[in-house]
Chains A and B, each alone.
Chain A
């Protein structure tokens, strides 16, 4: 079975631009989470979606938004890009939302560079 897939793998943008990152979960998984991993740090939680509804939001500005589609794939949008948004963006999927015990399976990430 295919794992979590993300596109694109790499992206270069300039300050002020907007970017959309895409994620397809493992077949059968209904929950998708997004994380930002700045170089040299651990991943930071951005959003979680389950059954197309937002179930959690991390401490990120409103420039960050996301949505989940009926096929459970997801998009992360970032507007008005800043240099500090340069990072590896990771998508993770899980079967459901079950009080924290569900294993999350991570994709390879999208590496975003903002110039």
Chain B
């Protein structure tokens, strides 16, 4: 069973600090990875995608991928209260189009 694992949290981070969200996956054949943000009562929104080992930066967000360790992470710099949401990690098999989601990490930014 291909799985994506996340710590459910909640993760509480002070405003202005770096929030670090982590995810592991079981399928070594996974090629593409995504981070989605989901506010309470809303639909998931794609915020980052990463396809190769290393770091990918977009504004305050940095996604990190380590395929040898089967590990994906998301760093949020200068955390804001508006970053408080559930963050879903997702992986896509190389042999299929479907994305498998983790259960999500609830992030709370405290003022």
Our verdict on whether A and B bind, yes or no, reads no
